[in-house]
A and B are shown apart, each in its own frame.
Chain A
Amino acid sequence: MPRPQPRLDPDNRFFWTGGADGKLRFLQCQDCQQFIHPPAPVCRHCLSENVEPAAVPGTAVVDSYTINHQAWYPGLEVPFVIARVAIDGAPGVYLTTNIINCPVDEVDIGDKVRVTFQQEGEIYLPLFEKVA
């Protein structure tokens, strides 16, 4: 069984397909410059409708994490790390993601990480790995 896939819609398509050119994008208000996530057609800070996807550097800091040991569906390989990361360049925006390409017990709060996209069909999942 594959991992659950996001259903693409007009609000989220830019986010889930943006990895095609290697860029992590979030909606940014073109009036107050604040970032908005999850995406919505209005800025939650100033109610402007002038919101556009904008690329961020792709680095982040681990805010917290958990090592998941439970196989929530058949075929899910465990353990793996789930983390909430604070996105550099988009103050106040966090992503839940996986930290990959390192032993599960080597992730800690404050670790610097960088996005790496995993393609599954149209979807480019933004996963992160530790910055050496």
Chain B
Amino acid sequence: MRGEAYITGVGQSQIGQKLTRHPLLLTLDAVKEALADAGLTIGQIDGVGTYPGRSAGYLGFSPVGADEVIDALGIDARWRLGAMEISAQLGAVAAAADAVKNGHARHVICFRTVYEAAAMARPEEYPPLRREKVDGFSQWMAPFNAISAACWTAQYATRHMKRYGMTREQLAQIAINGRANAALNPRALVQKPLTMDEYMTSRMVSTPLCLHDCDRFTDASTVVIVSGGDAIDEVKATPIRIAASAGAVDRVSWDQVEWMASYRTGPDLWKKTDYKPKDVDTVQFYDGFSFLTITWLEGLGFCEVGEGGRFIEGGKRIAIDGELPLNTFGGQIGAGRLHGFGFAHEAVVQLRGQGGARQIPGDPRVAVAASGGGPLAAALLLTKD
């Protein structure tokens, strides 16, 4: 329908670690798969959007920008986006939706390419972030050896435990669920399920987050193609409508933020649609660190604030055959650190019934994909109409 935006194709490269395939070619793999999925040709693409754009100071984080894809693939583009200063990773998809709704483009390739494991293995080719002298918001964290977002996220998780009684056994369900689902996803980075005992006895990273609460550096590319309603008749695949999107941005320095931006995203998302959380068949929520998924469950209104731990206790509710299947592809903890785009990819796979061994039962029609943590948040409400 005119004035609407749809995800019309999804694609993904292999997901691995220390890959030697050029990151632009990993991107090409995902683009080709998404084009074939949608039934489009590269000549029909007239926009490219990504997050965060080429990251020159830390290439492993984002080795490929929109410019390079446009140039290397010979795309005749009218619209592009490659920005870190956007709501969050999936904000790039939301921005592409707005662009096609307003006629700035017809078919937009949205991609996220990560090369962090390869970069660690080949630092001379892909130099790591230099930390000897820090500025910007890093200066308020790194001098105290709060080097990783794990340390920043952990403090929110500590507060949740002390204030609301969340337990490690409850939190463990994010990783255990992700790893169980990853074992059903042939592309997932980690194929071995995780037991509660393995979780509880693994080493701590930054309390209460242990090793299994963290995703792993990954090399991969994920693509979703966003098309305008006026161009939808060119597409062969079942289009998935971006029924609503919402984002929130808080103060850049995490330590000045009382509540993660995910908590402001929920009310904004739901006021843009007649759908309610109870209508949602599956959720794909960011788990770069497990606790971030809890904030999304609470922030988007699937349970009360502070109830996230009890909501997932035992894991049955969020399993593939549960009432609210979560991160059915494995999440980032199981499938690899795809950095946000994996959640939108999987929501489309599930709504189309293409999940194979990990397909949720019934006829799912409504999904929510969300990414981000701390001051960054973006959510997409996706429907099969």
Contacts and interface: CB of A to CB of B under 8 A. Distances in A.
Contacts of A83: 155
How many B residues are at the interface, by size bracket?
35 or more
A4 B132 contact: yes
A4 B256 CA distance: 21
Nearest to B148: A72
Interface stretch (B95-103, B199-207, B351-359, B371-379): B199-207
B151 A69 contact: no
A95 B255 contact: yes
Contact of A82 (B131, B145, B156, B253): B145
Interface in B119-152: 131-135, 137-148, 150-152
Interface string A1-41: 00111110100100000000000000000000000011000
A109 interface: yes
Given A3-B143, A6-B139, A109-B162, A70 B150 contact: yes
Interface residues of A, number: 36
Contacts of A127: 144
Interface in B184-233: 203-209
Contacts of A119: none
A101 B121 CA distance: 38
B96 to A, nearest CB: 32
A65 to B, nearest CB: 6
A72 B147 contact: yes
A120 B152 CA distance: 24
Q: Which of B143, B155, B253 is most buried by chain A, counting CB atoms within 10 A of its CB? A: B143
B140 A125 contact: no
Contact of A4 (B133, B150, B204, B206): B133
Contacts of B207: 66-69
A102 B85 CA distance: 40
Nearest to A11: B135
Interface string A69-81: 1101100100110
Contact of B155 (A6, A38, A64): A64
B155 A65 contact: yes
Contacts of B66: none
A59 B135 CA distance: 25
A19 B12 CA distance: 52
Interface in B222-281: 253-256
Nearest to B208: A66
Contacts of A123: 143
Contact of A38 (B137, B142, B151, B205): B137
Given A7-B133, A76-B145, A80-B145, A95 B140 contact: yes
A84 B155 contact: yes
A64 B158 contact: yes
A6 B133 contact: yes
A5 B132 contact: yes
A116 interface: no
Interface of B: 131-135, 137-148, 150-152, 154-159, 162, 203-209, 253-256
Given A6-B139, A72-B145, A73-B147, 18 more contacts: A3-B145, A4-B131, A4-B133, A6-B143, A12-B139, A63-B159, A66-B155, A66-B208, A67-B206, A68-B145, A68-B207, A69-B204, A72-B148, A84-B155, A96-B146, A108-B162, A109-B158, A123-B143
16 contacts: A3-B142, A4-B132, A5-B143, A6-B133, A6-B135, A7-B135, A9-B135, A12-B139, A37-B256, A64-B156, A66-B157, A66-B206, A82-B154, A82-B206, A83-B155, A96-B141
